[in-house]
Chain A
């Protein structure tokens, strides 16, 4: 994988641009449908864009605008995820969510939230009193009026999930090309001719899953884009696993028109997130964190769950939503030029990806397109790194624990550095194994890790002997 050589056969049925969660899911669906797929990604690894940092909630779509593309895709995606996750060895934590109303104005809106949920087919959502909410989450702060309980809101592993989609796509013949930026393209009557940083390609269909760069790619390939990406940053604070027991339920605020608001959220890894913030910015790749915002998140979190203040912060991070001026997804089809744009998937792409992929498949091949018979589908299994199932440290022959906080074994790390989609950056290794993502953030294991990863990473952990700074 780590070459810049062009692929053996530069001709394919569908070229998918962008290996975020959407591109990975689309590649999977189309490969399952029998298409010869190439997934072209500009970065070294998958998930280097918007899909890098999110809240990892598998939404039911209870609060999505009824009748929107977003709502339809979430609901279809949610259903399919539940069907397939076990076969791919992906964890699913049925945590349930509470939408919390802390004053009368918020409480008045709960009825509409329930109505909308029901209209969206989430029929088990219902209003509950403050007592019932407190029974679910005993540590809630004082002053709660009432809440909506949405039992179906769930938690997933945000990195293994798209990785599993892509592995399955590959086992059905899809080709993944990293460091492959799609630069120019011309539609030549029946197919696209595309020039990329890894040479020329020909494809019948082109699917734009370029996330934060979707509008720019559209402009380059098709002309003026019907939408503009308005990057919106979301910062998070991650609390130590010792805080994980404080709530098993996702705690949501009553949403505003523009944002779902700041969530206090358990994770499949056993810790607790508070975030995201919602900050409009021009940059599509600046995911810096900011002390003042992080402190604000802490105080919001500690307002919802006062006991949080005695627990340590393990990590901080930020993700960027590929939002647009419109609330709904930006799905645009140009049949003549065999082009499909799946853009502006701003804050629900992890949940909706499988649904979006089905939509893409229907758009390209029509409703009646058959899938292979179930017995012909291959189900690669990803390593299980969540707290929900058995971990490698529980099994013999694991080579010993290297990352002590997240209990990551030498065997897990070595496997992540080899195999079909190996990690080629420290970030990629973290996503695949969680090494260094725990409370000590590398205090204990950096040295061991720098030795094990030597020769595997694009940017080695100890290769700093660049020229000294002036």
Chain B
């Protein structure tokens, strides 16, 4: 093929907070040519269409709306000398490393020395939730709603039902208010809201019914939604007239490139398997941000991008320990949704502890237990809540080069 070839030191796939944070920091560490490849018309990631605060406390010490925050991240990257390339879709990743990209002008190949994957998360749409009923228009995710409202000033419905009570579900509520949309209800399968309780003030202020222990059982309507059937915990069904449904949250990693390529993916997190440096199964590739651990706030992702930039710079200098001595952390309890990073490499240079993020599938109180069945066990008392994250600090001394796996269990009580 006669595609254009572009060589660079580091190619960052995805220009969200993670990618922009990493790219900017790479430049400040003296790395020569850093390119950010972003498929949208502009870099900035999800915050581009979150028209509400609070963004930017960590990065800029002030409270910004999403679009302002995204603009500042872009400006900082440009000022640092990052080559931001919007309208550039990475279509495949290969060993080398080598990236295949599509632009409005046709195909190109990027041949960097290192790659950072930072492609973020999306929400689980209606289809993957296997919801019953007809398939009319007006069924959206929060992300789609936000980009319609904030980027295009369009209003897809007037009286929707919002499914879910994660933080992003309350963003959906704010977005509705901004557009003059009046949600009929918020429904949640669990018996308590997933987000912090304080967030539930919002629907009350907007006069929106909060229905816990309630499942969206069916969608009705032909061209457009005419209503939904809700099933309450008691088994009772209720038909609610509405003209839209927002499926919010249940984040999944946007990891198609890794899955379709040669990078190992963790079925539990849905993102690439990484070590504590953010390195993937192909050590020329790194991954960071929400694609690795669905899902955190923009500020945390940015911070992680910066930290991963340090490791990529070390890697370019040959300064990272070899990946082949890694120990794998294997979740061994259904309550544990995932643990990231999955691979821990003994590293004499660095801190005494490696932070491992653990996310839970349900609610419980008890003790996290990490061990290999023989040597010492690390235990940490914790309260597990769905979608919340707990940091387990694993001491370096627990690792040794010939240890294959550490099993991560949970004991209730």
A residues apposed to B, CB below 8 Å: 237-238, 240-242, 286-291, 294-295, 298, 310, 312-317, 393-401, 404-405, 407, 426, 439-444, 446-448, 450-451, 459, 461-462, 464-466, 468-470
Contacts and interface: CB of A to CB of B under 8 A. Distances in A.
A450 B154 contact: yes
B104 A399 contact: yes
B125 A442 contact: yes
B144 A446 contact: yes
A242 B260 CA distance: 6
Contacts of A439: 256
Interface in B366-383: none
A463 to B, nearest CB: 9
28 contacts: A240-B256, A241-B256, A242-B260, A287-B134, A289-B132, A289-B133, A289-B135, A310-B267, A312-B252, A314-B128, A317-B135, A396-B104, A400-B103, A401-B87, A401-B102, A404-B89, A407-B102, A440-B125, A441-B125, A441-B128, A443-B143, A448-B152, A450-B152, A461-B154, A461-B156, A462-B156, A464-B224, A470-B241
Contacts of B134: 286-288
A371 B133 CA distance: 47
A443 B147 CA distance: 9
A446 B128 CA distance: 17
Contacts of B138: 464
A231 B39 CA distance: 44
A94 B159 CA distance: 48
Contacts of B156: 446, 450, 461-462, 464
A179 to B, nearest CB: 14
A443 B122 contact: yes
B317 interface: no
A238 B132 CA distance: 15
A178 to B, nearest CB: 16
A397 B141 contact: no
A294 B195 CA distance: 30
B144 A464 contact: no
A110 to B, nearest CB: 33
A444 B127 contact: no
Given A396-B105, A446-B147, A464 B130 contact: no
Closest 3 CB pairs of A and B: A447-B147, A441-B125, A396-B106
B158 interface: yes
Contacts of A396: 104-106
A393 B91 contact: yes
B133 A288 contact: yes
Contact of B123 (A242, A289, A290, A443): A443
Contacts of B122: 440, 443-444
A429 to B, nearest CB: 12
Central interface residue in A240, A295, A317, A439, by most chain B CB within 10 Å? A439
B143 A466 contact: no
A294 B130 contact: yes
B300 interface: no
Given A399-B104, A401-B102, A315 B127 contact: yes
B113 interface: no
Given A401-B39, A450-B156, A469-B242, 12 more contacts: A288-B132, A289-B132, A312-B128, A393-B89, A407-B102, A444-B147, A447-B151, A451-B154, A464-B156, A464-B244, A466-B158, A468-B159
Contacts of B151: 447
Interface string B153-184: 01111110000000000000000000000101
Contacts of A400: 41, 87, 103-104
B106 A441 contact: no
A399 B89 CA distance: 13
Interface in B84-104: 87, 89, 91, 102-104
B39 A464 contact: no
A464 B87 contact: no
A289 B259 CA distance: 28
Interface string B234-272: 000000011110000000101010011000000100000
B131 interface: yes
Contacts of A464: 138, 155-158, 224, 243-244
Nearest to A298: B130
A4 B197 CA distance: 55
B148 interface: yes
B409 to A, nearest CB: 22
Contacts of B260: 241-242
A405 B152 contact: no
Given A312-B252, A397-B105, A462 B224 contact: no
Interface string B7-40: 0000000000000000000000000000000010
B158 A468 contact: yes
A465 B158 CA distance: 6
A426 B104 contact: no
A42 B312 CA distance: 61
Interface centre among B87, B130, B148, B241 (most CB of A within 10 A): B130
Contacts of B158: 464-466, 468-469
Contacts of B224: 459, 464, 466
B140 A442 contact: yes
Contacts of A238: 127
B107 interface: yes
B87 A316 contact: no
- Which of A286, A313, A441, A465 counts the most B-chain CB atoms under 10 A from its CB? A441
A132 B324 CA distance: 37
Nearest to B106: A396
A242 B256 contact: yes
B402 interface: no
B137 interface: yes
Contacts of B123: 443
A254 B69 CA distance: 59
B289 interface: no
A294 B141 CA distance: 21
A446 B91 contact: no
Interface string B318-334: 00000000000000000
Contacts of A405: 256
A241 B122 CA distance: 16
